[in-house]
Amino acid sequence: MLRSLIAFLILGLALTAAGGARASGPCHADTGDWNEQGLANAASFYTLEWAPFGAAEWGWETYLPLIQQEIGTDCGPGTPIFATRLAAFQQTYGLPSTGVFDAATFQVFRGVWQERRPFVMARLRQECPEPPPINQLGYLVASEEHADRLTRLLRRDVLDAYRRLVAAARAEVPEVAADPELLQIFSGFRDPEADAARCAQDRNCDGLHRAVCSPHRTGTAVDLYVGQLQGMGVDSTAAASRQHMSRTATYRWLVANAGRFGFVPYVFEPWHWEYVKPWDDSFAP
């Protein structure tokens, strides 16, 4: 009962906000045919009850930055422009071009994002990539490692790309410039044998928390500190934790800019990013 009441109140606020703003601004240019879709998206943004990764979630705010980046708009989910861009995406991928967000549309987004991760494509071929030779790995310095965990190593060219990414973020995002913890790495290269042993010991080889064949074995995956909800870990997969991370300026900058440096995201974990370029021989020792 209480949850239904909260949902009703949130729905009222969402519709009021969408209705009050819809007549002005570039995000409301297509007001003729897409107002209803915008209102539907504004409501489900907070009230959609679904389980995109198995556990129940409420609303889809966590995934908004990636969706906006994919459809090429900064407009909010309750706007006609967002609806038209979403409809274009749906049409491109053979879905009904309703302009309304739903679980089926999200699964297509998820597939598109996953296909950009070479590690995922290798796993679909039932391959587990070998770790790089030890001479391709370089050491992080202390200021690059998050105090929560020490990670030590990354592939040398990935480490260079990471350092360029951090330098750009510190120059472009006041939040990052003010907090040296942000974008520190709390997991990089993980030795496959040690990782598999820990996975088995902790009994968390479920593909979400830890996998026997992890992208971290490649030396190209990084877990970056993007903030944390009080009382939860830096890699808490709780819905509230991930939603909190997705709201940060740090994460939103990564979504918009990490590709400049060769990194792509893993949608379920706001902290997890993978370098997708082949080994650069110029970094050989």
Mean of per-residue pLDDT scores for the chain: 89
- pLDDT digits 0-9 by tens, 263-278: 999 999 999 999 999 9
Helices 249-257, 64-71: inter-axial angle, 10-degree rounding = 30
In the DSSP assignment, the letter for residue 255 is H
- Say if residue 3's pLDDT is above 90: no
Residue 192 clears pLDDT 90, i.e. is over it: no
How does pLDDT run across 155-177, given as a tens digit for each residue?
Answer: 999 999 999 999 999 999 999 99
In the predicted structure, residue 19 carries a pLDDT above the cut 50: no
Contact 33, 99 (CB under 8 A): no
Residues 6+ apart with CB under 8 A from 62: 239, 242, 243, 246, 270
Model confidence at 125: pLDDT above 90: yes
Question: What is the mean predicted confidence (pLDDT) over 201-211?
Answer: 58
- Quick one: pLDDT at residue 210? 55
Which one is predicted more confidently, 207 or 188?
A: 188
